[in-house]
Amino acid sequence: MVFGPTAAGKSALAHAVAREIGAEIIVADPFQRYRGLEIAADGPRAPERAEVPYHLVADLELSEESSAGTYAASAHEQIDRLVDSGGTPLLTGGTGLYIRAALTDMRMRPAPPDDVRRWAEGLVAADLQAAVAELMARDAGAAAAIDTDNPRRVVRALERAAMGDDADGGGDIWSEPLRRPAFVVGITRPRDVVHRLIAQRVRRELDEGLVGELEHALAQPDLARAPTQVIGMREVAAIGAGEMDAERLEEALNVRTRRLARMQETWMRRMGPDVVLDLGDRPAAGFADDVVSHWRRARGGVG
């Protein structure tokens, strides 16, 4: 498994490693599953997918809902198929919950009743700060543990707080045992380098047509809730509603992506990687030999 902050190069490194050892990549990202979010989710493009098999990428329509639980079932199926046939799965992605869902048999919390979900989503949509205040009143610990600038996380926390004991069952995603042995590689870079790479990626995505892609998604009459959480969707929606100046978009995307990168660094530390590689300011793919060497040593020198 290869994990690290967004834009640091984990996808490029995983691709290079997969080519070298003949692995197949299983992506742990809730947004790369959606056809129509290729730019926003920075998913693998056709040339990359022609070189290496990718799984759980572009397998959902924008009208289909997705969750960590449904993802886990699909990821387990792909991992088991590969391992049982003598293949090598290589897991990579940007979401700690999805990574752990793929690696463990952790129990998922039950979905909230429709009325609870509508209540939480309506409260957050109407006034995020009021929703945070409501969460603090119901569960101050939950409010302190999440990114309260992230509407999706506030909605989920409100749902759990409203459900009370009925929300139990998710367990601690970091303490669940692994389903199968896994070698975990964490990558890191100096903070200023990560910020520069994020800015470069945001600029590239805008040049590639990010706004048009998200406008097209927002225009879908049956757009599911899950894909609306991708970075950029709410900003483009706000521009369309006249609630945000288009000139502010690039910086807003940078801010949200930098926040995500910090969260991913925290997730990586909690995963306890077998090895952490500091990429400095060098191309990520150039570290493929290092990853393969560490992996082979961990397997007792077996190629």
Q: Nearest-CA neighbor of 138 among 113, 161, 122?
A: 161
- pLDDT > 70: what percent of the chain? 95
Strand partners, 2: 92, 185
Type and span of the H or E element at 263: helix 249-271
Please answer whether residues 244 and 238 qualify as being in contact, where contact means their C-beta atoms are separated by less than 8 angstroms: yes
So what's the pLDDT on residue 250?
A: 98
So what's the pLDDT on residue 303?
A: 41
The answer to pTM > 0.85 is no
What are 164-215's pLDDT values in tens digits?
744 444 456 777 889 999 999 999 999 999 999 999 999 999 999 999 999 9
Tokens for 80, please give them.
């088991």
The answer to whether residue 145 scores a pLDDT higher than 80 is: no
Tokens for 257, please give them.
């992506």
CA dihedral sign, ordered 7, 214, 240, 118: negative
What are 62-102's pLDDT values in tens digits?
999 888 889 999 999 999 999 999 999 999 998 888 999 99
The answer to whether residue 234 scores a pLDDT higher than 80 is: yes
169: DSSP letter: T
- Beta strands (DSSP E) in the chain are 2-3, 24-27, 54-55, 89-92, 185-188, 275-278
Give the span between the Cα atoms of 224 and 67, in whole angstroms. 12
Categorize the per-residue pLDDT at 225 as very low, low, confident or very high, splitting at 50, 70 and 90: confident
So what's the pLDDT on residue 189?
A: 97
Give the span between the Cα atoms of 199 and 7, in whole angstroms. 9
Q: Where are the domains of the chain?
A: 2-107+176-298, 114-167
**Minimum mean pLDDT among 10-19, 199-208, 257-266: which range?**
257-266
So what's the pLDDT on residue 172?
A: 63
The fold of the 2-107+176-298 domain, in CATH, is Rossmann fold (3.40.50)
So what's the pLDDT on residue 152?
A: 81
